[in-house]
Chain A
Amino acid sequence: MNAPLLEVWDLCAFYGRAQVLFDLTFRLHAGEVMALVGRNGAGKTTTLKAIMGLVSASARQATFKGQSLGRLPTYKIARLGLGYVPEDRRIFTDLTVAENLETGRRPASAGRSPWTPERLFRLFPNLAEMSGRRGSQMSGGEQQMLAIARTLMGNPDAILLDEPSEGIAPVIVQMMAEAIRAMKAEGVAVLLSEQNWAFAAGISDRACVIERGEIRFQGSMAELMANEALRADTLGV
């Protein structure tokens, strides 16, 4: 747990002239699940996008596996082993499940067993029955599973997971939680953006509370659970 996998410091982002992120500094270690929690509009999604280089105006000081993300284009960041699952899932609806998985395929780093469609179908059994189906004919939960599976096909060391529980049925939310635990067991670190407090609390090792683009709290999930005043103030739970 010494060298962090992903290290971000003084991250700022702007939409036009409006600054939405103020000097965020945090670390994600190998194999851990960390949750970014906060109210709607706090800047969670923007944080993930800024790390991936998808926010045009951002001051990005970040390293991943010791390499500076600096001004790297998005695809090179992804190739370093940092996966990204956007909140609106962004499944390629014209493509079949199998083809969607193909778009994410990248070789695994040495010494790791690569994710294959067969392994992913064991993780998400719902997908196994519909590998020829088009993305447009899937439910929101199925699309969410496919989005995660597609990113896992790139054999990432860490995944930025944006609102995985949003807009899907409770039974599927339960499956998501299991999937995230399974990913963790495989050694994949997860940086999670979540508004669903119960979901985040159930699967995360650490938490980072964001409010109006600034970090209000950083620490273990247990600490945050214990700090009722902070939770009531920043999250309303």
Chain B
Amino acid sequence: MLALDPAFLAVQALSGLSSASSLFITACGLTIVFGVTRIVNFAHGSLYMIGAYTAATLVPRLLELSFGPVTFWAGILASAIVVGLIGVIIEVLLLRRIYGAPELFQLLATFGVVLVVQDLVVQVFGPQDILGPRAPGLRAPVEILGRRFPSYELVLIAAGPIVLGLVWLLLRKTRFGVLVRAATQDRDMVASLGVNQALLFTGTLFLGAFLAGLGGALQIPRVSAHAGMDLSIIAEAFVVTVVGGMGSVPGAFLAALIIGQLQAFGILVFPKSTLVVVFLLMAVVLAIRPHGFFGRAEIVGGTHAVGIASRALLPRRHFILLVVIAILAGIPLVADAYLLKVATEILIFALFAFSLQLLIGVGGVVSFGHAAFFGLGAYGAALAVKWYGVSMEAALPLGLALAALGAGLVGAFVVRLSGIYLAMMTLAAAQILYAVAFQWVEVTGGDNGIVGVWPAPWASGPIPYYLLTAALTVVTVLLLKRIIDAPFGYALRAARDSEARAEAIGLSVRQHRWLAFIIAGAAAGLAGGIYAFSRGSVDPSLLGISTSVDALTMLLLGGIQTVIGPLVGAAALHALRDWIMPITSLWRLFLGLSIIAMVLIFPRGLVGTIRDWWGARA
């Protein structure tokens, strides 16, 4: 068997080491930035991508002027410095304003940067992939046990420990490093000693972005710079930092080594599922050590106790409810087929966002992978139709059941965690499912997904399907609302506001959160199932990060502290999308800027802002 050939094993191990090095250099920057600022910087992957694009563009020009290894490495370094400066700009313009914000807002705002950079990179560097030059002096492969191995990879293998050593020296032997490590532990105390945190944070962002840029720039002889490398590296870098312990540089090194080898050899065992292996590692490590290898309990993200508050019941609320139902039922009388399709989608996503509201607004459980259950519901329904030929009436509950089951499994892990680890774990769960849907082609159809998922004859056509969606959405939202206002909902809110106090009065916080996770997952699964039948198909993007972020954006847009917020947010986001998308190709830029603006200007969302304004007038 090929796998037992020692030369093959050696080469495989070496390539594992070289990818571990690249991964470490990037993840090291992420973990340092998190340690000091407590912000999980989604845009770190974007900085990596900018590093690759910059180097792939800059280095060939420099080599034309003067060909040689010195020029090559100087170009790589210059690219990393450029990225470091971009990191400084991001810190000064954005991060500085959200250090005290809830972690959910921090994640969303930096994801806004991801969207902005995606469009800007295409504008600046063009839509095509850019393959960088090979490193002068390192073009010939070396022979290892009779097998050829690229000599550049050997340099990369050395680069990881070199960077580790330099970062170690910087953190141990310089005043800047001592202050960074002190700030990692206690920011207020550092300020009380007269240290200007703003400068310290800006310096940290430079260092972190420089490392991301270096990680990206070092890739150019191996892979071409391409759009999409941001999200793939950020997912892996998240895993490395979480497994190693957020804020721990040695932890990141160890985790990168393990993940590099897992990927190199995992590909022999599960040829298609390297992503699954990586995320499973994270799930296992977090289940055993909830703060990673070297992470600590006290290092958590920003506050997360934002959510809906108790308020007096509206007078005439039954009347208002009847009016809303009447309006929903009346829409088919005035709307054409296209508008009905839009209205159907809005209702589906309103339900999806509302289910997330139960977790975040009520439970304080900041899930960053809620798309997992939306997608499970959609895939559950679609698979039931495709493989067992069941009808829509049976497929929808099956999808819901699969989502509830998935939420039960994921939730059992997740409720043991808190803060940023919880957000990362939910993200990982969604990414595992995404990888399964993407790579298990025989069953899920892979990238193409599953087609031919059509509703039952009585429900097909825009009007009947819209009415079905409206009925299911209204009923489920009312049910969820009932749960929120029940003692169960109060218990969740108590645990959100103070876990220790909730435990002290005898509430089992984990059990309540687990139940909430299952209920929210089931509701999201129902939304996913309805969505599958409305489009007639499913594909892996339903499980992707951007679907999760869509739900979060709707929640944030509508207002996280209100019950009605998600519904308004879903409508607003859809309206924006339908209005903006046709007029510009820079949709992501616009969406990203909107998310950032919302976090900075309207952190209470549309409904919350209007309510505040109304309250101030009254």
* Of A86, A92, A104, A151, the contact of B181 (CB 8 Å cutoff): A92
Q: A228 near B: Cβ within 8 Å?
A: no
Of the stretches B187-195, B256-264, B370-378, the one at the interface is: B187-195
> Once the chains bind, are A75 and B189 in contact (CB under 8 Å)?
no
Complex-state Cα separation, A84 to B189, whole angstroms: 9
Q: CB-nearest residue of chain A relative to B177? A: A99
Complex-state Cα separation, A75 to B192, whole angstroms: 6
Q: A103 near B: Cβ within 8 Å?
A: yes
CB under 8 Å from chain A, chain B span 183-234: 184-186, 188-197
Contact A90 B186, CB 8 Å, known A78-B191, A150-B193: yes
- Residue-by-residue, is B168-185 near A (CB-CB < 8 Å gives 1, otherwise 0)? 000000010011011011
Inside 8 A of A150's CB, which chain B residues have their CB? 193
> Once the chains bind, are B182 and A92 in contact (CB under 8 Å)?
yes
> Separation in Å of the B392 CB from the closest CB of chain A?
51
Inside 8 A of B188's CB, which chain A residues have their CB? 54, 74
Inside 8 A of A27's CB, which chain B residues have their CB? none
Inside 8 A of A104's CB, which chain B residues have their CB? 193-194
> Separation in Å of the A69 CB from the closest CB of chain B?
14
> Separation in Å of the B422 CB from the closest CB of chain A?
24
> Separation in Å of the A137 CB from the closest CB of chain B?
15
* Of A86, A99, A100, the contact of B192 (CB 8 Å cutoff): A86
> Once the chains bind, are B185 and A75 in contact (CB under 8 Å)?
no
Q: CB-nearest residue of chain A relative to B186? A: A90
Complex-state Cα separation, A86 to B193, whole angstroms: 11
> Once the chains bind, are A54 and B182 in contact (CB under 8 Å)?
no
> Once the chains bind, are B185 and A54 in contact (CB under 8 Å)?
no
Contact A94 B181, CB 8 Å, known A54-B188, A74-B188, A86-B189: yes
Q: CB-nearest residue of chain A relative to B190? A: A103
Inside 8 A of A79's CB, which chain B residues have their CB? 194
Q: A102 near B: Cβ within 8 Å?
A: yes
Contact A78 B194, CB 8 Å, known A92-B181, A92-B185: yes
Contact A103 B192, CB 8 Å, known A92-B182, A95-B181, A95-B182: no
Inside 8 A of A52's CB, which chain B residues have their CB? 192
> Once the chains bind, are B191 and A102 in contact (CB under 8 Å)?
no
Q: A93 near B: Cβ within 8 Å?
A: yes
Q: A66 near B: Cβ within 8 Å?
A: no
Complex-state Cα separation, A162 to B197, whole angstroms: 23
> Once the chains bind, are B189 and A92 in contact (CB under 8 Å)?
yes
Complex-state Cα separation, A52 to B190, whole angstroms: 12
> Once the chains bind, are A102 and B196 in contact (CB under 8 Å)?
no
Q: A41 near B: Cβ within 8 Å?
A: no
> Once the chains bind, are A154 and B193 in contact (CB under 8 Å)?
yes
- Residue-by-residue, is A95-129 near B (CB-CB < 8 Å gives 1, otherwise 0)? 10001101111100000000000000000000000
Complex-state Cα separation, A100 to B179, whole angstroms: 9
Q: A236 near B: Cβ within 8 Å?
A: no
> Once the chains bind, are B191 and A103 in contact (CB under 8 Å)?
no
> Separation in Å of the A221 CB from the closest CB of chain B?
27
* Of B186, B190, B191, B193, the contact of A73 (CB 8 Å cutoff): B191
Inside 8 A of A95's CB, which chain B residues have their CB? 178, 181-182, 185
> Separation in Å of the B288 CB from the closest CB of chain A?
23
Complex-state Cα separation, A94 to B247, whole angstroms: 12
Complex-state Cα separation, A74 to B193, whole angstroms: 9
Q: CB-nearest residue of chain B relative to A84? A: B192
> Once the chains bind, are A151 and B182 in contact (CB under 8 Å)?
no
Inside 8 A of B190's CB, which chain A residues have their CB? 103
Q: CB-nearest residue of chain A relative to B175? A: A102
Complex-state Cα separation, A105 to B182, whole angstroms: 13
> Once the chains bind, are B192 and A106 in contact (CB under 8 Å)?
no
- Residue-by-residue, is B102-133 near A (CB-CB < 8 Å gives 1, otherwise 0)? 00000000000000000000000000000000
> Once the chains bind, are B191 and A74 in contact (CB under 8 Å)?
yes
Complex-state Cα separation, A103 to B191, whole angstroms: 10
> Once the chains bind, are A75 and B195 in contact (CB under 8 Å)?
yes
Inside 8 A of B194's CB, which chain A residues have their CB? 75, 78-79, 104, 106, 154
Complex-state Cα separation, A52 to B191, whole angstroms: 10
Inside 8 A of B179's CB, which chain A residues have their CB? 103
> Once the chains bind, are A103 and B197 in contact (CB under 8 Å)?
no
Pick from A74, A105, A106 the residue with the most CB of B within 10 Å.
Answer: A74
Complex-state Cα separation, A103 to B196, whole angstroms: 12
Complex-state Cα separation, A86 to B188, whole angstroms: 11
Q: CB-nearest residue of chain B relative to A105? A: B175
Inside 8 A of B191's CB, which chain A residues have their CB? 73-75, 78
Complex-state Cα separation, A100 to B193, whole angstroms: 11
Q: CB-nearest residue of chain A relative to B298? A: A93
Complex-state Cα separation, A2 to B142, whole angstroms: 81
- Residue-by-residue, is B509-530 near A (CB-CB < 8 Å gives 1, otherwise 0)? 0000000000000000000000
Inside 8 A of B178's CB, which chain A residues have their CB? 95, 99, 102-103
Inside 8 A of B196's CB, which chain A residues have their CB? 75
A/B interface sample: 7 pairs, CB < 8 A: A54-B192, A78-B194, A92-B185, A103-B179, A103-B182, A106-B193, A150-B193
Q: Which 3 A-B pairs have the closest CB atoms?
A: A78-B194, A74-B191, A90-B189
A75-B197, A99-B182, A103-B193 provided; 20 other pairs, C-beta below 8 A?
Answer: A54-B188, A54-B192, A74-B188, A74-B192, A78-B191, A79-B194, A86-B192, A92-B185, A92-B186, A94-B184, A94-B185, A95-B182, A95-B185, A99-B181, A102-B178, A103-B178, A103-B179, A103-B195, A106-B194, A151-B193
